[in-house]
Structure 1
Amino acid sequence: MEMQIFDFATIANATNNFSSNNKLGQGGFGTVYKGMLKEGKEIAVKRLSRDSGQGFDEFKNEVTLIVKLQHRNLVKLFGCCIKGDERMLIYEYLPNKSLDNFIFGS
């Protein structure tokens, strides 16, 4: 499975510098932003919290596992972005609500 490594400037540009207008949600592991790449592809960017305590090795293992778990019923991981202690996961954007809404209802 292929996975792209995105540079920070590309992701910052795609999310309008992580604008609050592009914020889709927030959880214990970070904030998710909607973005648009230059070629028109919509993405969801999970910007991991610096307070998560996750080191580089743990992040690398998580990305490797997610790539191996690609399935037609799972959101596709396009790649990741690492800059210093910044770690981000770049997913395909799915416009129809969040998974918890489908599981638990509104």
Structure 2
Amino acid sequence: MLGKSQNGVKLQELHLLDFGKLATARNNFHPTNMLGKGGFGPVYKGKLQDGQEIAVKRLSRASGQGLEEFRNEAMVISRLQHRNLVRLLGCCVGG
């Protein structure tokens, strides 16, 4: 579902993704696929079955960010769509 806010940013719903498919897309989170590491965990590059290249942020258990905070962050980010922002395709809370 898409909507539009007053400042031109589109809003969309969050899609829940299967952890197994995400792990496969990133070669099971192999270190050679790591793009970088942020405060909440590493970011990996990957490719979906349809060939679309993606980046996946994996929450570190030691990050201090709780599951509820992660869900809230994912929900807010998923609702934003703008030419200057990377689009969030979805999230997975398992794994």
- Corresponding position of 2:86: 75
Q: Which structure features the higher share of strand residues?
A: 1
Give 1:48 shift. Answer: 1.1
- Corresponding position of 1:45: 56
- Corresponding position of 2:22: 11
- Corresponding position of 2:5: none
Q: How many residues align?
A: 84
Q: Which structure features the higher share of helix residues?
A: 1
TM-score of the pair, normalised by structure 2: 0.80
Identity %: 60
CA RMSD of aligned residues (A): 1.3
Distance 1:36 1:4 in 2: 17
Please give the per-residue CA displacement for 1:13-53, whole angstroms capped at 9, x wherever unaligned: 00001011111111221101000111111100000111112
Query: Structure 1 unaligned runs (5+)?
Result: 87-106
TM-score of the pair, normalised by structure 1: 0.73
Map 1:1-106 to 2 at 5 A.
Answer: 1-83=12-94, 86=95
Distance 1:51 1:40 in 2: 32
Query: Structure 2 unaligned runs (5+)?
Result: 1-11
User: Relative contact order, CA 8 A, sep 6+: which one is greater?
Assistant: 2
